[in-house]
Chain A
């Protein structure tokens, strides 16, 4: 075990070797065509280039929401159209009739006035 450890320690780079490693070039220039190839690949995947403000899931979500609103509106309209008006109390009916009669008499008088005016 101890020998193994010493063996590992001796395997460490010397200062000179470390300097050689550090002096290795950090950069390598790729072929110039690789940039265009990479841009094309990214463009094909929709990761670069003109991009819609709305992503596909967002558009689908908006369409779904619009459909739900439309169906709900249609249902409400259907229900409202088929709803029977509530029965009026007798007293209210009597008042409505008398008002209607007064209106009718009034409009007859107006018609008379109309004739006189002409």
Chain B
């Protein structure tokens, strides 16, 4: 089996080479193609912590290579990998015991609002409390449904909707001073 791959080689061919031969070259190509998006997903869920995002990405690839055999044949590799990255990032947030879905974190936001008045959208999202941020990133950016989010986070779909409602409100609150300033 040749270790050289044409740049136009498909993800499925690369996956086969990794599964069959443990090909590092094939892995390197998959890594280069799909890591930036998966890394962004993890980075956002983890509130912009680079150290956590690095750990999440490594764990994501380990889990992905481990479960290549169980990947659905029709699943697009990049989307599948981002799903794992989101899952791993949520696990890390949960491990740090920062993932709380009870109560209303808006009160804490209101207190902090002056200090973080001028934020762009990316910063507004990463500065959200973990519970809000996770649901908002998964739903509004990654396109997961409330049912999928509920399953992944171990909450109800209703809780997911409630968290999203509050997350959007919190993002607007963070962006408002900037919007008013520009108008």
Contact = CB atoms under 8 A, between A and B. Distances in A.
Contacts of B141: 21, 24
Contacts of A46: 22
A34 interface: yes
Given A35-B28, A42-B27, A50 B57 contact: no
Given A42-B61, A42-B65, A49-B24, A27 B121 contact: no
A34 B22 contact: no
Contacts, number: 80
Interface stretch (B6-14, B30-38, B94-102): B30-38
A24 B165 contact: no
Given A21-B121, A38-B61, A30 B54 contact: yes
A27 B37 contact: yes
Nearest to A23: B121
Given A21-B140, A24-B141, A11 B168 contact: yes
Contacts of B23: 48
- Secondary structure class of chain B's binding surface, majority of residues: helix
A11 to B, nearest CB: 5
A30 B53 contact: yes
B119 interface: no
B57 A34 contact: yes
Contacts of B165: 7-8, 11
A48 B40 contact: no
Nearest to A33: B54
B31 A28 contact: no
Interface of A: 7-8, 11, 13, 20-21, 24-31, 34-35, 37-39, 41-43, 45-51
